[in-house]
Structures are given as structure tokens and as C-alpha cells.
Amino acid sequence: MSKKRKIILIIVLVVVIIAAAAVVLYHSTYRFPAKFRILSDNSLGAAETEELKEDILAQSELKILVAYFSYSGTTKEIAEEIAYRTDADLFEIVTKESYNDVYKEANSEIRFNKRPELSNVVSDMEQYDVIFIGYPVWWHATPAPVNTFIESYDLNGKLIIPFCTSGGSDIEETMPTFLDSCDGLAVYNGKTISGTSELDDWFAELKLPHKFIRKSNWKGMIF
């Protein structure tokens, strides 16, 4: 083989390798859009969070908010049940602009760390002691509207309890993007909820006093 043909072959091989690497990188960043972002976790440590939780749950009365973002309706139904069981106020996180292509737009929001504007606000956030925040798992991450919600209020001194709905992912996959918005906040014992029958066990894990928990309002399972 001539020297010229060897050089051409090497160039072609390098181009193929670069192209293959670009394809792998593209698919990786599309499937895991938050993977290459710089994320921080400046939430309260476990000991401080536990101390705050004990203080809050020792109160004779609790004011609870269940805030949720739901696209298909699954998270909405779980949130409604949690709100009923805990006698909480219910708040839906709604974006000002609707998604035209939710897969592409949500992916872009997560990848580029966007904060979509919301169309509604909690009128008096100060009154709440405990805030459940629910959402579906999108692209192994927290949907960007949830980050907008968290960053829109002063939630210091409140107990933040995240929950998510998913067909196969766990809430731990979403926590890096969730905690990225939780500087100085007490985030406690998040949970992936597949059906309302799981709530009793979760409430027990949270150690919510029985006086704050109602019996179930649902007859069946929600997936």
C-alpha cells in the first residue's frame, strides 16, 4: 500500500471514530440531558433536616401544602390523595406556555437549565410548615417547572418532601436536579409512588403523627 493511500485510510478512520463518538455523545446528552450540567447540592444536611422535622412535627397544628406538576394526570391523582389524607391545601404548578412538543421542549429545558415561567402563584407561602412537591420523572431528571416553583419562594424553615411518579425510574435519579434548586432547604425522604396503596407505608416512614392522617379516599390503584 502506498504512503498516500495509508494517509487517506488513516484520515477516513479518524473521521469515522469522531463521527461515532459524536453520535454516542448526542444520544447520551439527549437521554440524560442533565448529565453534563454542573449541579450543586447545598441543601441542609441530614442531622439539621431531622432536627427541623422533629420540631415541625411536634407542633399541635400543621399547615401542609401539596404542590404538584402533572402532564398526563398521574401525578395529579397521587397529589390529590396525599392532600386529602393529610388535610393539605392543593396547588398545581402550571406553565404559562403550553408544551407543543413536550419531549423535545422538556428535554431542552433540562439540558440548558431553563426556568419556564409559571402562570400561577401560591398566595401565602409563609403559612405552610410542610410542603410536598410532586412531579413525573422526565429524562431521568426533575421537570424544569418544578425548579421554577422551588426557586420562586422563600422555603427556609419548611420541611420539603418530594415525591414522583414514574413507569420505571426512581426518585434518586431526579434528586441532583431537584436539590440544585434547594440551597439551604430541608429536603426529607423523597419517594417514588406507583399507587395510592403505597401511601400508608410512606407516611409511616415519614413519621407523620397519626392525628394528621386520614383514611384513604381511593378504592383502587393508580399507576
Residue 19 has pLDDT above 50, yes or no: no
Cell numbers at 159, concatenated? 420541611
**Would you state the pLDDT for residue 28?**
47
Q: DSSP 3-state helix, strand, coil percentages of the chain (rounded to 5)?
A: 45, 15, 40
Q: Where are the domains of the chain?
A: 1-31, 41-212
Cell numbers at 148, concatenated? 421554577
With residue 141 as reference, give the H or E element that holds it: none
With cut-offs at 50, 70 and 90, classify the pLDDT of residue 14. low
Among the ranges given (9-13, 38-42, 111-115, 207-211), the one the predictor scored with the smallest mean pLDDT: 9-13
**How many whole angstroms separate alpha carbon 132 and alpha carbon 174?**
15
CATH class of 41-212: alpha beta
Query: Is 136 buried (19+), middle (13-18) or exposed (0-12) by CB count in 10 A?
Result: buried
Closest CA to 91 of 121, 112, 113, 111: 121
pLDDT tens digits along 158-209:
999 999 998 778 899 999 999 999 999 999 999 999 888 899 999 999 988 8
Which residues does 218 contact at the CB level (< 8 Å), separation at least 6? 81, 196
pTM of the model: 0.83
Residue 48 has pLDDT above 60, yes or no: yes
157: which DSSP letter?
Answer: T
With residue 115 as reference, give the H or E element that holds it: none
pLDDT tens digits along 111-151:
899 999 999 999 999 999 999 999 999 988 999 999 999 99
